Structure formats: C-alpha cells, structure tokens
Structure 1
Amino acid sequence: MAEVSERMRDAFEAVAIDDEGRACRDIPDSVCREEPRNFFIHAGSLALTKSSDGLIDPKLVLSWLLTELAAPVFLVGLLVPVREAGALLPQIFTAGTIRRFPVRKWVWVLGSLIQGLAAASIAVCALTLEGAAAGWAIVLSLAVLAIARSICSVSYKDVLGKTVSKSTRGTATGLAGSLAATVTIVYAILLITGFVPRMTLVVGGLFVAAACWLIAALVFSTLFEEAGATQGGENAFKSAIADLQYLSSDPQLRRFIIVRGLLTTTALAPPFMIAAASKAGEGGFEGLGYLVLASAFAGLVSAYVWGRLADRSSRKVLLIASLLSMVVLALSFWFSLTGWLSTPLVLPVLLFSIMIAYQGVRLGRSTHLTDMATADTRAAYTALSNTIIGIVLFAGGVFSLIAEFFGISVVLITMALMCAAAIPMALGLEEVQSE
C-alpha cells in the first residue's frame, strides 16, 4: 500500500479533524496510517451509492415510471414496502454468514455490483415492457436490489468501524450525503423544468444509477481493511436466534431500536404530506418534483452538519431530529385542517424541514449504532436492529388504511405523537462518543 500523500492527509485533517484532535481513538496504528485514504474512499463510495438512491427513489421516480407504463396500481403500492423492508428484513439471517469473512469489504463490493445490475435491469424493463409485465419485472428487480442493499448495510457498519476512527465516521457519511445531494438537486431541477423529456430523463437516470453502483464497488475494493474476528460465523438461522439475546442483555440497544422505530415516521410522512396538500389544492406530480428537490437540498445543507454533530454526540442528533420532526408533523396536521397547505411555499418549507429531520435520523442512528457496538457485536447489532425496523416499516402500510378510513390528518397527528414519544427515549441514550 502506497504511503498516504501529504496533500491527502492535509485535506483529511481540514475536513474531519476538529480542534480536540480526536483521531485514531479506537483503530490499530496500522489502520490509522491509512485512515485519510480510507476516509475519502468511504466518502466517495457512499456519495456514489447515495446518488443512485436519489435517482431511483421508489417513492417518486419508480412510482411515476410504473404509472407511465400503465402498470396496475397495486404494483405501484408495492414499491416502497419492497424497497424498504426488503433491504432490512433479511439482515438478521445474513449477518452470521457475513461474520465468516475476516475481510468484509468484499461483501459490500458484491452487494454494490448486484445493485448496479438490478438498476440496469429496471431501466431495460422500462424500455422494453409495459403494463403488468413491466410492473412485475420492475418490482422483482427492485426486490433483488433491496436484498443486495441489505448485505451492504450489514457489512458496511462493520467495515466502517474497522477502517475509520470513531471521531470521523459521521463526518465521512455526512460528507457523502452532501455530495450526493448535489447530484439529486440537478436531477430534480431537470424534472421540474422539463428541459429533457421526462421518460428520457427517468430511464437515463436509472442507467446513471447503475453506473454509480458499479463504480462505487470498484472504489470500495481499494479500501485498506485488516482481517477481523470471525466468531459467530455460523448457521444463519442459529445466528439469528442467538442475536435475539442482545435485546435482553443490552438495554441501550433496546432503547435505541425503540427510538429508531418511532422515528421511521420521518421516512413515511412525505407521501402523506403531499396527499394532504393535493386535497387542499396543490398540484400533483409537480409537487412531487419539488419533493425530490426539497429532499436533495435538505441533504446538501444538513448532512455534513449532522455528521459533524454526530461525531460529538449522536444522542443529541437523534434528540434534535425527534423535536424537529414532531414540530413539522404537528404543523402539517394543523395546516391540513385549516387548508393552509394550499398556501404557496408552505408545503415546500414543511417538506424541506422534515427532510432535514430525516437526514438527522439517518446520520444519528448510523453513527450511534456503529459507536455503541464493539468490533465483535457490531454486525449482529446492525442486523438485529435493521430487521426489527424492517418489520416496523412493513407494518407502516397500516398508515394507508388509517388514511383511507379516518383521513390523512389522523395519520399526520399520529406520526407527530410517535416523534414526541421518541424524545424521552432519546434522552435516555448514553453518550457513546465519550466512551
């Protein structure tokens, strides 16, 4: 491995090292020497994959695509559950197998390659199929992509914990989020302006997403990772059952999962906010285009800041995100009753705010889980928490039934109350960055 250049080291110190000089607190000296390179490999790889996520967003891009291809409505409704739950539910069963690999970056590389191929498959289906055939083929390709994403998620936090020190992990993921948001902003502006035919832009974006995942796999393969512990690399089912004991033995893990479960509302709320605005008189797809822009811009302005704060206190990030999301959803509820959601700029501001909270939840929970676990428990904690959250997200479909029978306003106030309940739970989390 070539020596890290002075220019790279200077850039790393400028971006990631604060005045307290908290570097290499929990990684070996051999890895510490490679940390600047590893830091930028993490940031670059994640920026590419997060850009892909923005270009293939099931809530917006794929939903519009299936509608244009005249796929059945119920298939459109499967997109978000397949993508979200499919990326989380398998993790408790794959964690044991992943633990058998002393060097786990190759698991992430494989997952990224499969995601790239699955994204390309979705693009090809959009060009060659229509109707129910297109819908089923795209949902199936998305399921493959989601499963590949699940193995990336399990392996990534473990690799991150082994290759980048505790004081810079949130900064790496936050920087990646800001870079990816820039790409998504350009994409959103093109969607809104109509300079490029919408179908051409959407299908082209799918191919670009596929390329980004493939390039990310290549970049991540250059990461310097030392061999780690392989204890627990056993039968997947036995490993999953064994991992459940952590729920009883670690009260902090239980509390963290409850907080994360309550804050899934930040991911589920935007479509209901859009629906409430549509009932109040706002436009349809144009409003969704602005949702993409609001999401991307929120990521651009907040991800790096959230990441830096998470390196100091991921507990405070989760607490602030809980407070912000509670306020935004409570306002959305009130405005849905008064009709103010149809007022210009009200919906974009609310969407922007909930997306900032969502970014905080993502950065805070990722950094908190990575830092609260040890090298031996990190993969198991990740798989266990993600699987439980996958079940919660899958069960989130009940909000659609609530909206159908009781109205969207009831959904919004229920979500606001869930965020309020997350506040005292987040207060009880430990300051894992100080350990």
Structure 2
Amino acid sequence: MAKHLLQKLYGFLNNEHGERVCKGITDDACDHVTRNYFLILLSSTFTKLGDTLSNPKTVLTWLMTYVNAPVSIISLIVPIRESGSMLPQIALTKYISKKPIRKWIWVIGSCLQFCAIASIGFIALYFKGAVAGWLILLAVVLFSLSRSMCSVTSKDVLGKSIPKTRRGKLKGYTVSVSGVLVLLAGLFILYKSKTDVSIEFYSYLVFFASIMWLLAAIAYSRIKEFPQTISEEKDKQDEEPPEGLLSKFKLLKENKQFRNFVIARSLLLCSALTAPYYVVLAQNNVGKKSYLLGLFIIVNGIASIISAPFWGKFSDKSSKNVMALAVLIASILGIIAYFIISFSTDLKSTIWIYPTAFFILGIAHGGVRLGRKTYIVDMATGNERTNYVAVSNTIIGLILLVTGGLSALVSLISVEGVILVLSLFGVLGAYKSYKLPNVEKTD
C-alpha cells in the first residue's frame, strides 16, 4: 500500500502518468527510482534544515558573540565554512572514483558533520572567549572537510539513481519542503526573542541542528545504489584523467564547455557573498534588534517555499537559463540596494526594506544553486561527473577565499560598495551563463 502511494505521489510530482522516464540511468536503477527519489528528498531536507539552524552568517555568529569570541575569529567562520568544503574535493576524487558504491562515503560524511555541529553546542556551553572561538573554528574545519565528502559523492549518486528531467524537480521540492520547516524554525526563534534568550537556547538550537545530519545519514543509507555504470560511461570522454591531483585541472584546458561553466559559476558568487552584507546594512541602519535573526530566517524560508518548485521545473528544461535569470535578479537587487543606501536617507532607515531584500535575494540564490547543480549533473556522467564536481568546487573554493577576503577589506570602507561591485560581476555571470550550451535533452 505504502509503495503504491509513493508511486502515485511520484507520478503526480513529476507529471508522469504513463511509462516511467529513465533517461540516463540503468534498467536496474529504473526499478528503484521512486524509492530513491523520496529517500534523497528526505535526507536532503534534513541537511538543509540543519544548515539553516547552524548557519555561520546568522546562528553561529550569534552564538560566538554570546561566548565573547574575538571578532577576528568570528570573521573566519564564513570563508572556512564555504570554501573548506570545496577545496579538498579534488584530493578525494581519486579514492571515490574507484568505489562502485559511493553512498556510504556520503553517510560517513554526514555522521562526521553531526559530530562537528554537536561539538559546537558543547563548546558554547562550557567555554568562553578566545578558547571557545578557536574550538568552534576547529569544529567548523571538521564540518567543512566532512561536507566535502558528501558534496563530491551526492551528485554522482543522484545521477545514477534519478533520471534526467527529474533531478531539477527533486531539488526544487527538497528546497520547498525544507523551506516550510525553516519557516517554522524562524517563527519559533522570533517568538523566543521576545524574552531574554540565554546561551543555553542557542546551544540547544545547534544540538537540534546536528541531529538533522544523523537522521539524513540513516535515510541516505537506505538508497538502492547499483555498482553498474551506465552505457554513456563507455565513451572515451568518461575515462578518468591521468593520475595525480594537478592532472585533473587539464579538464579546464581540454573541455571548453566545462571551462565556460566554471567561469560562469565563479561570476554567480554574488548571490552568496552579498547575503551577510544585507544583514550588516540592516544592523547599521535600523539597529541590532534581537528579532532580526528570526525575521531573516523566516523570509528566507518563504522564499524557498515559493520559488523552489519553479526553479526545479525550469532547471529540467534549461538549467543554464535558470542560472542566468537568478543571478540577474540578485544583481539588479544589489544595484538598487546600493542607490537606496547611498541616496535615500528615509528608505535606508525603514526596517521592512531589509527583510524584503533578503527575501528577493533568497529567491535568486535558490535559483543559482539549483541551476548550477542541475547543470553539472546533466552535463556529465560517472567518473567524469565526479571529476567535474571536484575540480569546479576546488576552484570556486579558492575564489571564495580570495573574494571573501577582499570583500571584507572593502567593506571597512563601504558595505554597499561591496554589494554593487559583486552585483556588477553578477551581470556578467548572467551573460556567461546564458551563452552556455543547453544540457537538458528530452529526445
């Protein structure tokens, strides 16, 4: 009965009422698409909720402020969290590419993330000052390294388990479902902000977030993954590059499409890098009100609920156009924000401006993330996909560190100026994304 209901729900969600679509996967995997679809949906929902409740831009910064960690240490959290999960990936590909079954690497990585985030809760309860700051930073390093294990394998498992033209919708529904849970969490934080919130509250919030990765690992372990490779992997293009870490970067020279994707993706970073600056602008212009944390989480959750299904369906038709449109929205928003902050004293002192901007940015960033993830999954297969993900993530990790550091320096002069510069790069990113070839084939 339960299996039949899941099959009906799968058909409804994917508008599939006739013969099962299994493009790009094996016949064995086709028999388990429904089961795998919902297990990936469940595990991804858990991790996204955990990510939100331990977000370095909001919750972890709030937490470290409570334990009086130095600002110099707090400033390292975001770049390490964002880039640390990307940089090690190219070193992992040689090992991972030899594994016929790769879901267990994801499970181990998720369990390690549970340990890392849970340790932050304990550190906040029992340590203070610089000691607490350095210990939390160490936990974030462990989290990022563990996250890289999941990142480099998740797209490969997705590509082996879920057919083309269904992957974007799956990601979209995942973001939408987790958005509802994030909305509830934000409302709870908003409610609690009416009273004096102690360090125990934020520590327990982080403890709860850590459990999400443990639940995700349990769900992911139930995925039916087959060691057989799909027929497309027999092509010469799918052969692994010569051994050695540096040799994998030859992909950038040899594959023009992949090289252009990496260039485009690096220009899409404005949607991610500008987010904390909107929070800083809100604090600078309307004050550091305690309910802002819950408010930003709420609008981000609403943005996910509204936009994710649209971005998912759009990505299955043209993920490169999703990237272009989404980053263009983020860029136009940034340009408008710059002029409001620079030339309108009344508007920049209005509190609703900032949650509204964060809401629009949440819609745009969701499209950027979903579009680029769908594009790289559909662009390649097998070990080629694993290498593409690792090389692109490693490069983006390096760019994040450099760009994040430069942005931090420029922000000392003008926060809105950073948003403007990153937004102008985003406009170029929209053009480069639009010029990419379409990888979603329906024939």
1:363 aligned partner: 370
1:322–1:92 CA distance, 2 compared to 1 (3 A): same
Q: Does the CA-based 8 Å contact 2:240-2:383 persist in structure 1?
A: no
| 1:247 corresponds to 2:252 | yes
1:376–1:20 CA distance, 2 compared to 1 (3 A): farther
Q: Does the CA-based 8 Å contact 1:42-1:173 persist in structure 2?
A: no
Q: How do residues 276-425 of structure 1 correspond to structure 2 at under 5 angstroms?
A: 276-337=281-342, 338-339=344-345, 340-395=347-402, 396-405=404-413, 407-425=414-432
Q: Does the CA-based 8 Å contact 1:232-1:239 persist in structure 2?
A: no
1:217 aligned partner: 217
CA distance in 1, matches of 2:167, 2:68: 43
The offset of 1:377, in angstroms, is 0.3
1:208 aligned partner: 208
The offset of 1:39, in angstroms, is 0.3
| 1:429 corresponds to 2:436 | yes
**Deviation string, structure 1 residues 183-222 (Cα, Å, up to 9, x no partner):** 2212222222226735333212211122111111111111
Which amino acid in structure 2 is aligned with residue 303 of structure 1?
Answer: A
CA distance in 1, matches of 2:421, 2:19: 43
1:253–1:394 CA distance, 2 compared to 1 (3 A): same
Q: Does the CA-based 8 Å contact 2:261-2:436 persist in structure 1?
A: yes
Unmatched runs of 5 consecutive residues or more in structure 2: none
Q: Does the CA-based 8 Å contact 2:173-2:308 persist in structure 1?
A: yes
| 1:268 corresponds to 2:273 | yes
Which amino acid in structure 1 is aligned with residue 350 of structure 2?
Answer: T
Q: How do residues 182-193 of structure 1 correspond to structure 2 at under 5 angstroms?
A: 182-193=180-191
1:246–1:21 CA distance, 2 compared to 1 (3 A): farther
CA distance in 2, matches of 1:89, 1:11: 38
- Give the stretch that moved more between structures: 172-181 or 37-46: 172-181
Q: Does the CA-based 8 Å contact 1:280-1:336 persist in structure 2?
A: no
Q: How do residues 33-52 of structure 1 correspond to structure 2 at under 5 angstroms?
A: 33-52=31-50
Q: Does the CA-based 8 Å contact 2:241-2:248 persist in structure 1?
A: no
Q: How do residues 113-124 of structure 1 correspond to structure 2 at under 5 angstroms?
A: 113-124=111-122
| 1:139 corresponds to 2:146 | no
- Give the stretch that moved more between structures: 193-202 or 354-363: 193-202
Q: Does the CA-based 8 Å contact 1:99-1:232 persist in structure 2?
A: no
Q: Does the CA-based 8 Å contact 1:170-1:307 persist in structure 2?
A: yes
Q: Does the CA-based 8 Å contact 1:298-1:353 persist in structure 2?
A: yes
The offset of 1:321, in angstroms, is 0.5
Which amino acid in structure 1 is aligned with residue 203 of structure 2?
Answer: V
CA distance in 1, matches of 2:62, 2:256: 43
| Identity percentage of aligned residues | 32
CA distance in 2, matches of 1:428, 1:4: 45
State how many pairs are aligned: 430
The offset of 1:20, in angstroms, is 9.4
1:75 aligned partner: 73
2:156 aligned partner: 158
Q: Does the CA-based 8 Å contact 1:322-1:420 persist in structure 2?
A: yes
The offset of 1:129, in angstroms, is 1.1
Which amino acid in structure 1 is aligned with residue 50 of structure 2?
Answer: S
1:14–1:121 CA distance, 2 compared to 1 (3 A): same
Report SS of the residue matched to 1:434.
coil
Q: Does the CA-based 8 Å contact 1:119-1:145 persist in structure 2?
A: yes
The offset of 1:285, in angstroms, is 4.5
The offset of 1:156, in angstroms, is 0.5
1:58–1:365 CA distance, 2 compared to 1 (3 A): same
CA distance in 2, matches of 1:114, 1:307: 29
1:4–1:285 CA distance, 2 compared to 1 (3 A): closer
Which amino acid in structure 2 is aligned with residue 242 of structure 1?
Answer: S
1:378–1:76 CA distance, 2 compared to 1 (3 A): same
2:98 aligned partner: 100
CA distance in 1, matches of 2:354, 2:291: 12
The offset of 1:32, in angstroms, is 0.6
Report SS of the residue matched to 1:87.
coil
Report SS of the residue matched to 1:5.
helix
Q: Does the CA-based 8 Å contact 1:174-1:306 persist in structure 2?
A: yes
2:226 aligned partner: 226
Q: Does the CA-based 8 Å contact 2:240-2:384 persist in structure 1?
A: no
1:256 aligned partner: 261
Which amino acid in structure 2 is aligned with residue 128 of structure 1?
Answer: Y
Q: Does the CA-based 8 Å contact 2:270-2:331 persist in structure 1?
A: no
Which amino acid in structure 1 is aligned with residue 105 of structure 2?
Answer: V
